[in-house]
Amino acid sequence: MSYSNASGAGETPMIEIDLDVRDFSSNWANCDLVSSYVSRMVCHNRLDSMLFANLYSSALNELMETTFHRHGNNGKVVCRFKRRENGDRIEIDMPGSEDIARFYDDAVALTKRPDKDAIYLDRLFSTETPDTSLGLLELSVDYGAEFSLTRDQSNNRICLTADLVFEDKAS
């Protein structure tokens, strides 16, 4: 299964939320709150809405936690939620310096490696402090998420896109 819609054609925008960086990063619980709220909103018309909401919430929470740890200092974190047939696209557009963009470049590249499963297990069970890219790796291995990253260097913004497919058929 694949989202396979790099151009964005045929997507249906569902929800977009803007969060001030300072407000968003002021409380770890914001990740869970946003994930739970959005999941309830976007899952209502799925074949198995409870299962879909649980999977969606878990995946979104990992994305939000990664963003919580790695973003620029000022501006908005903009989250866009879209759907195309049975696939869901989550875009997290955030302020990001060159250092932050490099982190996401490396994390996205890691999710595309053929040995990502072994890397994920090695990092998951490591005694060292987990790095913040572990969440993206987990989504790639456990949920089949496909990631991409775009940069707007003129505004020091980056956009992390996650394409997910949780069910075979669209409702």
In this prediction, residue 128 carries a pLDDT of 85
The tally of domains found in the chain comes to: 1
Evaluate whether residue 169 is within a structural domain.
Answer: no
Contact 3, 146 (CB under 8 A): yes
Asked if the structure places residue 7 within a domain, the reply is no
- Cβ-based neighbour number of residue 73 at 10 Å: 10
The answer to whether residue 124 is domain-embedded is: yes
Run of H or E residues at 120 = helix 116-124
The span from the CA of 50 to the CA of 54, in Å, is: 6
Residue 170 belongs to some domain of the structure: no
Distances from the Cα of 29 to the Cα of 36, 44, 60, 91, angstroms: 11, 23, 13, 20
Residue 2 lies in a domain: no
In the chain, where do the E strands start and end? 12-20, 76-84, 87-95, 146-152, 157-165
Does the pTM surpass 0.75? The reply is yes
Give domain status of residue 55, yes or no.
yes
Nearest of 108, 166, 101, 95 to residue 137 by alpha carbon = 108
Cβ atoms 3, 144 nearer than 8 A: no
Rounded distance, CA 92 to CA 15, Å?
A: 12
Strands 12-20 and 146-152: unpaired
Domain span holding position 132: 13-164
Residue 23 lies in a domain: yes
In-domain check, residue 4: no
What is the domain-level CATH number for residue 152? 3.30.565
pLDDT tens digit at each of 171 positions of the chain: 556 555 667 888 999 999 999 999 998 898 899 999 999 998 888 888 888 899 999 999 999 999 998 888 899 999 999 998 889 999 999 999 999 999 999 999 999 999 999 999 999 998 888 788 899 999 999 999 999 999 998 889 999 999 999 877 655
